[in-house]
């Protein structure tokens, strides 16, 4: 529920479906449920950007975003028959993505994978072409997010990074709106404290050294 102007900077990264999108979704959902050849590829073409975005932003800089996205689609197809309303395909996809991302976050937490890439050996795929300082800032952000509980982290990322509405988050995570709000408040406060108190972020940068002419 976006009432106040202070949330005006938030935007929905993936626009909500239009009427024609919903009609196409109904056809696509029925084709998937009927096992029509080519339907999975169509679903991929339509929803891969959405799912990839959720995974990438929720997990952070991670070389396995593509792999997790693949996994989401494979599991989605395996459970497509549980979709009750074909017109709700988009919500179904988002819900699936969020569920698997949540599982992935918990798995990582359980294994105490505090490094940003699973192997710790490969440069993070999403960060290859970023500036050093932005890369560092993002690495710090996701290191701090690792300190949040899975639900808090996911709610915060879906809201502040992915730009979803509170209602969308509640639906995707299958929790109540009130729970979303509580979790978001805790997560926002905690992350703000962590960021503001992080000595490694925003260290004072000195004045530019005069550059000798060449």
Span 83-122, contacts to other proteins by CB under 8 A = 118-119, 121-122
Distances from the Cα of 150 to the Cαs of 46, 98, 100, in angstroms?
28, 11, 12
Residue 11 Cβ vs other proteins, minimum distance, rounded to whole Å: 8
Residue 147 Cβ vs other proteins, minimum distance, rounded to whole Å: 13
Of residues 74, 85, 167, 176, which one binds other proteins by CB under 8 A?
A: 74
Q: How many residues bind other proteins (CB under 8 A)?
A: 95
Please list every residue from 24 through 53 that binds other proteins, using CB under 8 A: 34-37, 39-41, 44-45, 48-49, 52-53
198-207 b/e (C-beta count within 10 Å ≥ 16 → b) = eeeeeeeeee
15 lies in the site for other proteins, by CB under 8 A: no
> Measured between alpha carbons, how far is 155 from 43 in angstroms, rounded to an integer?
26
> Measured between alpha carbons, how far is 198 from 169 in angstroms, rounded to an integer?
28
| 175/194 with CB nearer other proteins | 194
26-42 b/e (C-beta count within 10 Å ≥ 16 → b) = eebbebbeeeeeebbee
Residue 138 Cβ vs other proteins, minimum distance, rounded to whole Å: 6
Residue 156 neighbours by CB distance under 10 Å: 23
Contacts of 36 (CB under 8 A, 6+ apart): none
Of residues 25, 29, 61, 94, which one binds other proteins by CB under 8 A?
A: 61
Q: Of the ranges 18-26, 88-96, 127-135, 146-154, which one interacts with other proteins (CB under 8 A)? A: 127-135
Interface characters, 152-181, with other proteins (x: CB under 8 A): ----xx--xxxx--x-----------x--x
Please list every residue from 136 through 155 that binds other proteins, using CB under 8 A: 136-142
| 114/189 with CB nearer other proteins | 189
> Measured between alpha carbons, how far is 97 from 95 in angstroms, rounded to an integer?
5
Residue 19 Cβ vs other proteins, minimum distance, rounded to whole Å: 25
In sequence order, what DSSP letters do the residues of 185-207 get, joined into one string?
HHHHHHHHHHHHT-TTSS----P
């Amino acid at each position: 529920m976006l009432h106040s102007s202070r949330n005006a900077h938030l935007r929905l990264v993936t626009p909500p479906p239009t009427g024609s999108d919903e009609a196409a979704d109904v056809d696509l959902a029925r084709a998937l449920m009927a096992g029509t050849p080519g339907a999975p590829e169509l679903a991929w073409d339509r929803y891969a950007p959405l799912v990839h975005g959720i995974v990438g932003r929720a997990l952070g800089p991670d070389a396995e975003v593509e792999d997790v996205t693949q996994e989401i689609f494979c599991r989605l197809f395996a459970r497509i028959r549980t979709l009750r309303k074909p017109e709700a395909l988009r919500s179904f996809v988002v819900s699936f993505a969020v569920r698997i991302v949540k599982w992935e976050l918990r798995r990582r937490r359980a294994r105490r994978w505090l490094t940003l890439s699973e192997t710790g050996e490969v440069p993070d795929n999403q960060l290859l072409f970023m500036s050093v300082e932005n890369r560092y800032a993002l690495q710090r952000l996701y290191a701090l997010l690792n300190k949040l509980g899975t639900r808090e982290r996911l709610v915060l990322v879906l809201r502040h990074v992915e730009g979803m509405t509170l209602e969308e988050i509640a639906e995707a995570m299958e929790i109540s709106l009130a729970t979303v709000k509580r979790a978001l408040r805790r997560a926002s406060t905690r992350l703000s404290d962590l960021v503001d108190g992080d000595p490694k972020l925003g260290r004072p940068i000195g004045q530019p050294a005069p550059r000798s002419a060449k």
